[in-house]
């Protein structure tokens, strides 16, 4: 039995390029459960966007464990610590089981009828007083496709407000926009199997070993096998991936674009580019070449604070392989110039002609488990099934499918991103805000402001959640929801693989699925189509899936060839899945025709520096004709830079053991014990200068707030401060806000966003750090197994995940 808290990635099954990734089935069962009596139900993990195939073990009506699915190409049986232990949150004693209504300042239990009647009554009142612009909806990256699609129809087709966004805005909005800018529509071009085939991996701003632990197992098995791929890692921290890298560039945060321009400068000047591919399948190469010509390694070295020769070496590795897989995540997406930088990662694959071929792709990686579905269904700022807001024919087509007048779909205003939605609530124009499965009182920037918005008397706040989160505690109505394992539905991971997750157990008490709550709401609101029939005409997840299939026909994310029955028989199916491709499609763009045609594309593109949106005529003039688009931009420094008062640069991020605001993982004993409290990570140089030692109590202050925690001295770059963003206040006395010392990282972050994707900046804030107390023998409550590995000796090693079995099948 392995301890998979101590050994995050488990045993190795090395293999050479081109051979199938061997099977290793990971399993964890609650102690004392009679193994022979456990019944297994098909599902997939929803604790990150890898979406590992897993079965849920049930005994006596309770979830008692999980095991990976051997045949699933996503994980070949493996599970990471969150997948192995995170399910225990389902059984947590503090699950919400009854709706709550605020009365006399207190949240008190109420019936579903009373709660939903109040929600409907307030909605009608706001619609009468202010119209649809008074209503806002902010949802999640952790629901199922069926929940999202019902939400999108209710809000866009029924209420007609543009104020609908997902917390995917904080996570994958830039991935979505970068894919649209370059390739015309959303959707990962490649397959996770490309990692088994490639000879070069380039990861920028993506701490794969911690954010996608099973993907890192896959990469480790290549790194430790024959024909090891070369690895270029860009990360200001010394991550586990950096420890294995051929080239590690610990750049100053906020300088991604300069580095990526510098790498392209080298690729072009050394002629490490596929000129034939570029000429035949791309446009705007000349503009790109002109822009990046101003970024020779010496200039980039100065901006990024890494040696020029290391930049040259990174470019040489990227430029001389034959099968390149690139990936980026929050280090790119949560910075200023996010979309501009993410587009350069696409450009590198295009310059090398390495897209649409085995072992060659780019992953604009997702973070949240079902983020892809938020985007596909239109439960964020996108129009359902990757349609284009600015294309009247696309809007008309959707209106026909929903049987509503196209004017009902709010294309008269741009879709509202969450930062703008909170601004409208702050100003008072939004007076009804429904928050579904997300926790903005911990996850949005500048938390004192977010709390003050949610606490306003004039704002009616509804929260749907399985737990009494920091946000739920500030609500007027709280609706208890069923989660994974307690409802049936589908979701799509970051290589477009769709899984079906079956209901394994009943939800606790009177908790209901989000889809059922929305069906009830639509009925109470009397939402109808233009013939007076109920707008939402399904009552089960399967019928909802069928409706979504119909609306995707002919679009890039075509689900028309899928069914629940088919998903039950397969180990995940990648879209598009059609009559012509009944088993789905592993790689998009194999014919090197991209989705950029004016009539088909999902977005006409943007000016990357200002965010100005292009119009149909601008796109038509470009005549992309199915060719990919090189987007170029000059580097500009972030708005907030270190100064005398705030001389260090903060970045926030995740650890391998927690998910988002810890509402689930904080309730799994092993995960919580591995990373129980916030810590403040500093470089050795800064710690020495500030006379701070491992475990000392420190205070981090930005112009917006302060956080206190114990110091971990680790291997990150000089000038960098890292604070994990998982920690809030739900497990403390007040539960909603700091009670004395604050420790939510977003007390420090800035209200600012990328001009194109509108993704907030969590990776750049100027801060000041000071010691406020001695360690007195304590060390920081940070894992020793990850990027936060301590430099000091004698720190107790992170452990405590005993009882996991690993079954190897080397021949796969
Ligand atoms: S890698 Fe992600 S999807 Fe897979 S087990 Fe871990 S948390 Fe779950």
Chain segment 350-360, per-residue pLDDT in tens: 999 999 999 99
Q: Which of 212, 220, 659 to mutate to test the pocket of ligand 1 (most atoms within 8 A of CB)?
A: 212
Distances in Å between the Cα of 136 and the Cα atoms of 127, 326, 435 are: 11, 36, 9
Is the pLDDT score of 812 beyond 60?
Answer: no
Q: What's the sign of the alpha-carbon dihedral 406, 410, 414, 415?
A: negative
Q: Which fold has domain 173-365+595-629?
A: Dimethylsulfoxide Reductase; domain 2 (3.40.228)
Q: Which two tokens stand for residue 142?
A: 């952790």
Q: From ligand 1's centre to the CA of 672, what distance in Å?
A: 16
* CA distance linking residue 671 with residue 673, whole number of Å: 5
User: Which residues sit opposite 2 in a β-bridge?
Assistant: 804
598 token code pair: 């004016």
**Residue 810, pLDDT score:** 56
Interval between CA 50 and ligand 1 midpoint (Å): 6
pLDDT for res 732: 87
Say yes or no to pLDDT of 705 above 90.
yes
Say how many Å lie between the CA of residue 702 and the centre of ligand 1.
Answer: 33
Mean per-residue pLDDT, 563-569: 98
Give the per-residue pLDDT at 636.
98
Rounded average pLDDT over 712-722: 98
Nearest CA to ligand 1 atom 4: 52
Question: Measured from the CA of 51, which atom of ligand 1 is nearest?
Answer: 3
Q: What is the mean pLDDT of residues 767-774?
A: 98
Could you report the per-residue pLDDT of 381-410, keeping only the tens digit for each? 999 999 999 999 999 999 999 999 999 999
Residue spans of the domains in the chain: they are: 100-172+370-510, 173-365+595-629, 648-773
Atom in ligand 1 nearest the alpha carbon of residue 84: 5
Residues linked to residue 195 through DSSP beta bridges, in sequence order: none
Contact 711, 696 (CB under 8 A): yes
Distance 586 CA to ligand 1 centre (A): 20
Average pLDDT over residues 33-61: 97
State residue 319's pLDDT score. 98
Please tell me the pTM assigned to this model.
Answer: 0.98
pLDDT above 70 for 811: no
The pLDDT of residue 174 is: 98
- Residues 649 and 643: their CA atoms lie apart, in Å, by 10
Residue nearest to atom 8 of ligand 1 (CA): 83
* pLDDT exceeds 50 at position 477: yes
CATH number belonging to domain 100-172+370-510 = 3.40.50.740
Q: Is pLDDT at 106 greater than 90 in this prediction?
A: yes
Asked if residue 588 has a cis previous peptide bond (ω within 30° of 0), the answer is no
For residues 761-790, b (16+ Cβ closer than 10 Å) or e, as one string?
bbbbbbbbbebeeebeeebbbbbbbbbbbb
pLDDT tens for each residue of 622-662:
999 999 999 999 999 999 999 999 999 999 999 999 999 99
Which residue has its alpha carbon closest to ligand 1 atom 6? 80
198, containing H or E segment: none
Give the pLDDT confidence of 226-238 residue by residue, as tens digits: 999 999 999 999 9
Residue whose CA is at the smallest distance from ligand 1 atom 2: 48
Is 326 in a helix, a strand, or coil?
strand
447-451 contacts: CB < 8 A, separation 24 or more? 447/705, 447/744, 447/746, 447/747, 448/704, 448/705, 448/747, 449/751, 450/422, 451/736, 451/737
Q: What is the CATH number of domain 648-773?
A: 2.40.40.20
- pLDDT tens digits, one per residue of 81-98: 999 999 999 999 999 999
Cα(44) to ligand 1 centroid in Å equals 9
Of 808, 806, 803, 802, the C-alpha closest to 6 is 802
In terms of Cα–Cα distance, which of 267, 174, 303 is closest to 608?
174
Ligand 1, atom nearest to 659 Cα: 7
Q: What residues pair up with 363 in beta bridges, in sequence order?
A: 327
Helix extents (H) in 251-321: 256-269, 275-281, 285-292, 297-304, 308-320
What are the tens digits of pLDDT across the range 318-376?
Answer: 999 999 999 999 999 999 999 999 999 999 999 999 999 999 999 999 988 999 999 99
Query: How many angstroms separate the alpha carbon of residue 53 from the centre of ligand 1?
Result: 9
**What six digits make up the tokens of 542?**
């399967």
- Answer whether residue 157 shows pLDDT above 80: yes
Assign 742 a pLDDT band (cuts: 50, 70, 90): very high
Chain length of the chain? 812
Q: What is the structure's pLDDT at 177?
A: 98
Q: Measure the CA–CA gap between 184 and 605, rounded to whole angstroms.
A: 8
């Amino acid at each position: 039995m392995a301890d998979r808290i101590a050994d995050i990635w488990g045993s190795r099954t090395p293999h050479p390029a081109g051979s199938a990734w061997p099977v290793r089935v990971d399993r964890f069962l609650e102690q004392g459960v009679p193994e022979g009596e456990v019944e297994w139900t098909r599902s997939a993990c929803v604790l990150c966007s890898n979406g590992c195939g897993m079965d849920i073990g049930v005994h006596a009506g309770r979830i008692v464990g999980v095991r990976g699915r051997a045949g699933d190409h996503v994980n070949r049986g493996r599970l990471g610590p969150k997948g192995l232990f995170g399910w225990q949150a389902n059984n947590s004693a503090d699950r919400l089981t009854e709706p709550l209504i605020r009365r006399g300042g207190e949240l008190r239990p109420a019936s579903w009828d009373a709660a939903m009647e109040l929600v409907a009554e307030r909605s009608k009142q706001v619609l009468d007083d202010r119209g649809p612009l008074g209503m806002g909806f902010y949802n999640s990256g952790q629901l199922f496709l069926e929940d999202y699609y019902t939400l999108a129809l209710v809000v866009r087709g029924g209420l007609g407000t543009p104020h609908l966004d997902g917390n995917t805005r904080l996570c994958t909005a830039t991935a979505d926009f970068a894919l649209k800018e370059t390739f015309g529509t959303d959707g990962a071009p490649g397959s996770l199997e490309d990692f088994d085939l490639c000879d070069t991996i380039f990861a920028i701003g993506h701490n794969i070993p911690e954010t996608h632990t099973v993907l890192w197992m896959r990469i480790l098995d290549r790194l430790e096998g024959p024909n090891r791929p070369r690895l270029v890692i860009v990360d200001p921290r010394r991550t586990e991936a950096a420890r294995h890298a051929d080239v590690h560039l610990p750049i100053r945060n906020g300088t991604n674009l300069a580095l990526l321009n510098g790498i392209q400068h080298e690729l072009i000047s050394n002629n490490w580019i596929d000129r034939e591919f570029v000429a035949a399948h791309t446009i705007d190469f000349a503009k790109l070449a002109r822009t990046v010509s101003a970024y020779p390694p010496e200039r980039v070295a100065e901006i990024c604070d890494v040696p020029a020769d290391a930049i040259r070496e990174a470019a040489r590795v990227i430029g001389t392989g034959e099968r390149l897989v690139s990936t980026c995540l929050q280090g790119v997406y949560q910075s200023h110039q996010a979309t501009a930088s993410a587009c350069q990662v696409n450009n590198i694959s295009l310059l090398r002609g390495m897209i649409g071929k085995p072992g060659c792709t780019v992953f604009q990686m997702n973070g949240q488990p079902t983020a892809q579905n938020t985007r596909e269904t239109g439960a964020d700022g996108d129009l359902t099934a990757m349609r284009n807001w600015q294309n009247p024919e696309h809007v008309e087509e959707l209106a026909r499918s929903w049987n509503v007048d196209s004017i009902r779909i709010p294309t008269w205003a741009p879709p509202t991103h969450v930062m703008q939605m909170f601004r409208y609530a702050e100003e008072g124009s939004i007076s009804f805000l429904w928050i579904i499965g997300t926790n903005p009182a911990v996850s949005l920037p500048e938390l004192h402001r977010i709390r003050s918005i949610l606490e306003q008397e004039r704002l009616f706040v509804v929260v749907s959640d399985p737990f009494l989160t920091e946000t739920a505690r500030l609500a007027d109505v709280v609706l208890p929801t069923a989660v994974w394992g307690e409802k049936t539905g589908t979701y799509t991971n970051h290589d477009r693989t769709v899984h079906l997750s079956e209901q394994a157990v009943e939800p606790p008490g009177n908790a209901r699925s989000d889809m059922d709550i929305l069906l009830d709401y639509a009925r109470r609101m009397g939402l109808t189509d233009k013939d007076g029939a109920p707008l939402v005409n399904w009552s089960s997840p399967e019928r909802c899936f069928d409706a979504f299939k119909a609306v995707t026909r002919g679009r890039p994310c075509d689900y028309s060839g899928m069914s629940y029955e088919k998903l039950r028989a397969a180990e995940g199916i990648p879209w598009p899945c059609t009559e012509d491709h009944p088993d789905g499609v592993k790689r998009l763009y194999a014919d090197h025709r991209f989705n950029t045609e004016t009539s088909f594309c999902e977005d006409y593109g943007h000016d990357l520096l200002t965010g100005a949106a292009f119009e149909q005529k601008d796109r038509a003039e470009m005549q992309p004709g199915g060719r990919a688009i090189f987007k170029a931009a000059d580097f500009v420094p972030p708005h907030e830079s270190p100064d005398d008062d705030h001389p260090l640069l903060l970045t926030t991020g995740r650890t391998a053991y927690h998910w988002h605001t810890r509402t689930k993982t904080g309730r799994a004993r092993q995960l919580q014990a591995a990373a129980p409290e916030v810590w403040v990570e500093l470089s050795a140089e800064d710690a020495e200068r500030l006379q701070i030692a491992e475990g000392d109590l420190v205070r981090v202050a930005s112009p917006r707030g302060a956080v206190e925690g114990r110091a971990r001295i680790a291997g990150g770059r000089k000038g960098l401060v890292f604070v994990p963003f998982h920690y809030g206040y739900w497990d403390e006395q007040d539960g909603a806000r700091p009670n004395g010392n604050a420790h939510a990282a977003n007390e420090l972050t800035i209200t600012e966003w990328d001009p194109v994707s509108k993704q907030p900046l969590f990776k750049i804030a100027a801060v000041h750090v000071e010691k406020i107390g001695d360690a007195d023998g304590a060390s920081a409550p940070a894992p020793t197994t990850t990027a936060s590995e301590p430099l000091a000796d004698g720190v107790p090693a992170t452990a405590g995940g005993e009882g996991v079995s690993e079954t190897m099948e080397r021949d796969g």
